[in-house]
Structure 1
Amino acid sequence: MKPRLGDLALHMARISLCASAVAIASHIESAALAAASGGSLFFASFALMHDVAHGALRLPRKANEIALTLSAALMLMSGHALRIMHLRHHARPLAPDDIEGAPARLPLSRALLGAPLAAFALRAEAFRAAGPSGRRSQLAETALNLASLALLLASRRPALLAVAATAASLQLTMAVWAAYVPHNAPAWVLAAARRLAFTRSPIALSLGYHERHHRIPNLPCSRLALPSPDRS
């Protein structure tokens, strides 16, 4: 099967646009713009990482592994850790051993309060569940994450500190926006998300068509609203 280069190009264009906004925010020292563009970069990177984790872009194996690492690195996260837990979630949605999906089984208040602990539990379980090669990858990615975070903090520039704070905040609340909300969103929220599908926003598509994603996990996020899966 041919690589889905059009979908990859869309991801790269979105990430490049967000990264440019972060650079502009850093240049003009706007912490508010940096936080907004940093959040956008986080979600754009998450969308790419998610498609790569499922092999939805049909990239060669080595290229897919590199893309997994680099896309997650933009979020200060481990791509190999995210993949192993996300694929378990797809294999056994909301089962007792589905650490990623566990917050979806809780009341919203408990999911919010437990979100930071859930983020650490997810990474710890991913490391425990991985084989020797996977653990080496996770350790290398974690070292890269820590080095990147250290550089952002050492800069002492308000804009870069805002980028770091935004990435940390989104990581520590992932249990809510990535687990609880998609599995518990009311009908009107899903309808609103579907009405925004024409924008090809990964947030709108992932939320509005979450059930379809579970049925066809190797379909790129940008194609979830299509009448039928593209098999090209």
Structure 2
Amino acid sequence: MQPSLNEIGRDLLVVPRWRLALTLATPFALVALFFVFASRQWYVAALACPVLLSFLTYGSISHDLVHRNLGIPRWLNESLLSAIELLSFRSGHAYRTVHLHHHARFPAEDDLEGAASRMSFVRALFEGITLQPRLWIFAMKKNGRDRTWMIAEASAVVIGLGICIAIIPITPLPFAYAALMIAGSWIFPLVTAFIPHDPRGGTELQQTRLFRGRVLSLVALEHLYHLEHHLYPQVPHHNWPALARRLDPFFEREGVRPIRLWF
């Protein structure tokens, strides 16, 4: 049996206020920096901004807002979930519906988010091209409570894209930004399902892979703690490394072998 949160430490639920403020401001800062860098023709730096934005929002910042584990007022949590995901032309509340369903149902056939874990590498890559509209349709059918949020978010995405296209004769930068953000979401099935999950596993510890090592931590910016997150979704991403260290003895006792890249 996995340790209780009381056993491993409820301090893992706490994030310092300064760090929380920095985290929530980061997506907006990255958008601003993209336009600053692109307008100065610093294209490599500009390209890095949407890459980081896609990675940090879907993988951790919006993800924490989905789980409501940051300890902020509910109205602020919901508003930020919507606003931050809209920066990436996605519906935050559709994301929540589908992601929580994934936690409850993986590896069931009706788990849309986890479906790529049963696919080939190539098919998982192509799965992402149409994933966001399909997530929204799935969520609209599944979650009547947040339907108003999701309709508003989808409308904002369509209007935003329309504006980006309409002003291309004036400046192509907003359209370039939108295209990069949308294309960035295409790899989500690969990185959130195909790589970390194994639907053939018989237990929860076998259905999600365990990753360790300095190389993988550096490459993934300390975000490859998928198994730890599935076991303790209430722990914010800031504390995933500490959570992993405290769980290592448990994983060793249970015979869970970590995947490493060199060291």
| TM-score, normalisation: structure 1 | 0.83
Partner of 1:191: 213
Residue 64 of structure 2 corresponds to residue 51 of structure 1: yes
Matched, 1:153 2:170: no
The question of whether the paired residues in 2 share the 8 Å contact of 1:7 and 1:57 is answered with no
Q: 1:161 to 1:30 in 2, by over 3 A?
A: farther
Question: Where do 5+ consecutive residues of structure 1 fail to align?
Answer: none
Per-residue CA shift, 1:72-130, capped at 9, x if unaligned?
A: 11111101000000001111222111110000111112212333233332221111101
Asked whether 1:213 is paired with 2:229, we answer yes
2:126 equivalent to 1:109? no
CA RMSD of aligned residues (A): 2.7
User: Does the 8 A contact of 2:136 with 2:150 survive in 1?
Assistant: no
How far residue 178 of structure 1 moved from its aligned partner, in angstroms, is 2.4
Report whether the alignment pairs 1:79 with 2:92. yes
Query: Which position in structure 2 is the counterpart of 1:180?
Result: 194
Q: Judging changes above 3 Å, is the alpha-carbon distance between structure 1 residues 75 and 39 closer, same or farther for their aligned structure 2 residues?
A: same
Give the match's secondary structure for 1:205: coil
SS, match of residue 116 in structure 1: coil
Q: Secondary structure at the match of 2:93?
A: helix
Match of 1:14 in 2: 26
Q: Would you tell me which structure has more helix in proportion to its own residues?
A: 1
2:90–2:132 Cα contact (<8 Å) kept: no
> Which runs of no fewer than 5 residues in structure 2 stay unpaired?
1-9, 199-207, 248-263
Cα shift readout 1:131-157 (whole Å, capped 9, x = no counterpart): 1x4111100011111222222222323
Q: 1:158 to 1:35 in 2, by over 3 A?
A: farther
Find the counterpart in structure 2 of residue 223 from structure 1: 239
Relative to the length of structure 2, the TM-score reads 0.74
Larger radius of gyration: 2
Conserved? CA contact 1:11–1:44, under 8 Å: no
> 1:180/1:193 Cα in 2 relative to 1: closer, same or farther (>3 Å)?
farther
Q: Say which of 79, 84, 87 aligns to 1:66.
A: 79
Q: Residue 32 of structure 1: CA displacement?
A: 4.7
1:100–1:175: 8 Å Cα contact kept in structure 2?
yes
Tell me the number of residue pairs that the alignment of Structure 1 and Structure 2 aligns: 221
Task: Supply the distance in 1 between the matched residues of 2:20 and 2:143 (Cα, whole angstroms).
Answer: 27
Quote the residue 2:254 is aligned against. Answer: none
